[in-house]
Structure 1
Amino acid sequence: MQKKCLVRKNRDYCKVYNKGISLANRHMVIFTRKNNLNIKRFGFSVSKKMGKAVRRNFIRRRFKEISRLNNNWFLNGYDYIFIARKGIDEISYKSLENSMENLAYRISKQMTRKNL
């Protein structure tokens, strides 16, 4: 994933958390907000409660790869932040992909309805 497609600054994360909309399922939470750019940007957050750095990076790499391969699920001009929930490291890659697709579909539908 290219660096320009990542949310990197803390203030950008805070904007998305405070002024964006969110949806959740059993494995993750997604926050999104319009970014006034013409690109989609992604941020990934995995808590220290998930385990040591190796386990957290493993989860983060899965998130990045799924969002890179399935870039068409997400709308241009929005920031997306994914937060992992407990137990996400125990599910298969395909289950995680299906879960992410479901959330992306639901949040895109909600954003177009509200015109955020």
Structure 2
Amino acid sequence: MEKKVSFTLAGDERIKKTRDFKSVFEAGKSLGGSTVALYFVMKNTGKPRAGFIASKRFSKRAVDRNRAKRLMREVFRLNKHKLVPCDIVFIARKGLKGASYKDVEKDFLDIALKAGILRDR
């Protein structure tokens, strides 16, 4: 029987606490693309979790930072079933400002493939 894939983003699939962000930054590895940079650390159990950062260095306008976080959340939400259990922190880069969803998704999948966090399917 085939396993059903859920495309929701539950609270336990998000990194929210400062100590969790710090642990990913300290113990994890990083790779970057033109629209996003990823910090990631592998886990043995559970499901993938993600945190999202769009700082004032990315844009002074809150509307731009919020759009960036929405795009990154959507990319994670629709592709999390392809990932191995890991903690990921997405960081918005300047290239994300005018990017479409497809641009961000392609960039994320390229980085994830390079990082080795995509499942073999």
Q: Bin the TM-score by the shorter chain.
A: 0.7 to 0.9
Measured in 2, the distance between the counterparts of 1:19 and 1:36 equals 15
1:59 aligns with 2:76: no
Contact 1:46/1:56 (8 A) holds in 2: yes
Gaps of 5+ in 2: 1-8
Q: What letter corresponds to residue 60 of structure 1 in structure 2?
A: K
Measured in 1, the distance between the counterparts of 2:65 and 2:45 equals 29
Correspondence for 1:75: 84
Deviation per CA, 1:18-68, whole angstroms, max 9, x where unpaired?
111111122221011134541210011111122322211111011111111
Measured in 2, the distance between the counterparts of 1:15 and 1:83 equals 15
1:101 aligns with 2:115: no
Counting aligned pairs with the same residue, the percent is 31
**Aligned residues between the structures:** 109
Q: What letter corresponds to residue 34 of structure 1 in structure 2?
A: M
1:3 aligns with 2:16: no
Partner-residue secondary structure (3-state), 1:91: coil
1:31 aligns with 2:39: yes
Partner-residue secondary structure (3-state), 1:90: coil
Query: Residues 11 and 36 (structure 1 numbering): CA distance in 2 closer, same or farther, change over 3 Å?
Result: farther
Partner-residue secondary structure (3-state), 1:47: coil
Measured in 1, the distance between the counterparts of 2:110 and 2:81 equals 13
Structure with greater helix share of residues: 1
TM-score, normalised to structure 2's length? 0.82
Q: What's the C-alpha RMSD, in Å, of the aligned pairs?
A: 1.7
Correspondence for 2:95: 87
Gaps of 5+ in 1: 110-116
